[in-house]
Amino acid sequence: MARTAYHHGDLHQQAHDQALAVLRLEGDSAISLRGIAKQIGVSAPALYRHYADRESLLAELAISGFAALRQQLLSVEQHAPRAALIGIGLAYVAFAQSEPNLYRLMFGGRVLPKGAHPRLDQAGLGAFNVLQDTIARGQRAGYLKPAPLSLMTATAWSLVHGLSQLTIDGHLPNADAEPQLAEGITSLLLEGAIAHTDAHTDNNEDTP
Amino acid sequence: MARTAYHHGDLHQQAHDQALAVLRLEGDSAISLRGIAKQIGVSAPALYRHYADRESLLAELAISGFAALRQQLLSVEQHAPRAALIGIGLAYVAFAQSEPNLYRLMFGGRVLPKGAHPRLDQAGLGAFNVLQDTIARGQRAGYLKPAPLSLMTATAWSLVHGLSQLTIDGHLPNADAEPQLAEGITSLLLEGAIAHTDAHTDNNEDTP
DNA sequence: GTGCCAATGTTAACGCCGTTAACTTATCAC
DNA sequence: GTGATAAGTTAACGGCGTTAACATTGGCAC
């Protein structure tokens, strides 16, 4: 069976793209199968040949979102431990801010109760692992204290996820100095996470 | 106009309670005005005498959620700075875990785009201020370093909010040791936030 | 080439939803 | 009592997800 052009063409991909466009502009609640079908120029039940239901389409959007997040995190320079850790935090928050509606879908928790969609869980782990690997590298380099890896990863992820969510929803009152905020927050956490080897125990900022 | 019993009774409050019950059991997307009206024993348009639309009902649920969160945070013992800070973090996460669907509604971001509902924003600030006051107290006591208050508050809030969201959605892989996790995370951040006065630079736990 | 099968599309319909319009009823002020 | 008004009613519109039943088309066996 050809995947290039059949009755209509690659309806699967077109529906995915159209749904992503609606998501970006109006959020996931504005995604309707009937609306997508109409804008593609196809009948609504045709979508059910490619997606089991509306939730499956949203899950696929979230999966591609996690893949994109993973790629953005993988592109962070990994030479200097401190720069890598701060860089990955900034990259994470930057992704959420560049795709707020997609990020809300990925972590909204309303769709797909976490164990229902194996591919979605795996995609989330793929992004999570990049963060964990960076922290493990910082530990092996002796930059981070040898606390349990799971604890440090959970802490770092909680921080960047919380900051992402709060900023894209406008909850932080003084979000004006936002880039400095992300860096300042990451640095503040790092000061509690670095190994105190009599080298950098105090305010050791490397920002101009 | 009496507020005790009219045609039906206190429909406003009953609708609120019924919606909250549905929210707790099935999440906000399961809240339908028709369903609530039917279970109360009233006609669906009757609800429009008390709520402008479905979003207003959800906003009111979120407002009462923020009030409940504020009360829970206010009940934290405020004597010792470190105990107060860890206690408020644990209380915050405990609230999210005890009311996951309500917490998702409060911070979901899909409903009420942040500036649309003034009472909702004010309720959020009410909870936020308790956290900020605790941090300010810790600074005045000399326990926390004199970094900008907005930065420290944003960091703390990001951390507890992120941890709450990740745990209630089951994203943290090893959430088995969850109470220890919340405390360990809070302590880890604190080690970067406390003032290093040659008094408690290392692992200075005050828990049994 | 022909014929069949499975994949992919169509229209019609069901039941639910939010919301509005038009109307009815009960309570309070006087 | 008698309006005015708040609080309820039924009827209806349009949109939604989803399913059933039917139609079409591409590709493969022969």
The CATH code of the domain that includes B5 is 1.10.10.60
Q: Which residues pair with A144 in a beta bridge?
A: A194
pLDDT at A193: 86
Residue A206 lies in a domain: no
- Same domain for B46 and B60, yes or no, is no
Task: Identify all chain B residues contacting A109, using CB atoms and an 8 Å cutoff.
Answer: 100, 104, 165, 168-169
- Same domain for B98 and B77, yes or no, is yes
Residue A205 lies in a domain: no
DSSP assignments along chain B, one per residue: --SS-SSSS-HHHHHHHHHHHHHHHH-GGG--HHHHHHHHTS-GGGGGGT-SSHHHHHHHHHHHHHHHHHHHHHTS--SSHHHHHHHHHHHHHHHHHHSHHHHHHHH-SSSS-SSS-HHHHHHHHHHHHHHHHHHHHHHHTTSB----HHHHHHHHHHHHHHHHHHHHTT-STTGGGHHHHHHHHHHHHHHHHB--SSSS-S------
- Same domain for A29 and A66, yes or no, is no
- Same domain for A103 and A2, yes or no, is no
* Blockwise average pLDDT, block size 10, chain B, 208 residues: 54 97 97 97 96 97 98 96 94 96 93 81 95 96 92 94 94 71 88 69 40
- Same domain for A102 and A151, yes or no, is yes
- Same domain for A90 and A189, yes or no, is yes
Cα separation, A189 vs A93, in Å, equals 15
Test mutation, B158, B189, B198, chain A, max A CBs within 10 A: B158
The string of pLDDT tens digits covering residues A94-146 is 999 999 999 999 999 877 777 778 999 999 999 999 999 999 999 999 999 99
Q: Average pLDDT for residues A48-52, to the nearest whole number?
A: 97
Residue A136 lies in a domain: yes
Domain enclosing residue A14, as ranges: 1-51
Q: Does A122 touch chain B (CB under 8 A)?
A: no
- Same domain for B82 and B167, yes or no, is yes
Cα separation, A18 vs A35, in Å, equals 10
Residue with CA nearest C1' of nucleotide D27: A1
Residue B132 has which token pair? 């900020």
pLDDT at B2: 37
User: What is the overall mean pLDDT for chain A?
Assistant: 88
Residue A118 lies in a domain: yes
Cα separation, B31 vs B15, in Å, equals 11
- Same domain for B176 and B76, yes or no, is yes
- Same domain for B159 and B103, yes or no, is yes
Residue A208 lies in a domain: no
CA→C1' distance for B52 and C20 (Å): 12
Return the CATH number at B151.
1.10.357.10
Q: Judge whether residue A84 has pLDDT over 70.
A: yes
List all residues 6 or more positions away from A181 whose beta carbon is below 8 Å from its beta carbon.
A163, A167, A172, A175, B151, B154
Domain count along chain A: 2
Test mutation, B97, B188, B198, chain A, max A CBs within 10 A: B188
Q: How many CB atoms lie within 10 A of CB A122?
A: 11
Residue A198 lies in a domain: no
CA→C1' distance for B6 and C28 (Å): 11
The string of pLDDT tens digits covering residues A152-194 is 999 999 999 999 999 999 888 766 666 678 888 989 898 878 8
Cα separation, A188 vs A205, in Å, equals 10
- Same domain for B47 and B66, yes or no, is no
Give CA B198 to chain center in angstroms: 36
Asked which of B35, B51, B67 is the last residue of a domain, the reply is B51
Q: Phi and psi at residue B9, in whole multiples of 5°?
A: 140, -155
> Which residue of chain B is at minimal alpha-carbon distance from A109?
B169
The string of pLDDT tens digits covering residues B101-148 is 999 999 988 777 777 789 999 999 999 999 999 999 999 999 999 999
Residue B87 lies in a domain: yes
Residue B207 lies in a domain: no
- Same domain for A29 and A67, yes or no, is no
**Using CB atoms, which residue from B108, B158, B201 is nearest to A166?**
B158
Helix (H/G/I), strand (E/B), else coil: A170: coil
- Same domain for A154 and A180, yes or no, is yes
Q: Which of A31, A42, A44 is nearest to A6 (CA)?
A: A42
Cα separation, A60 vs A183, in Å, equals 32
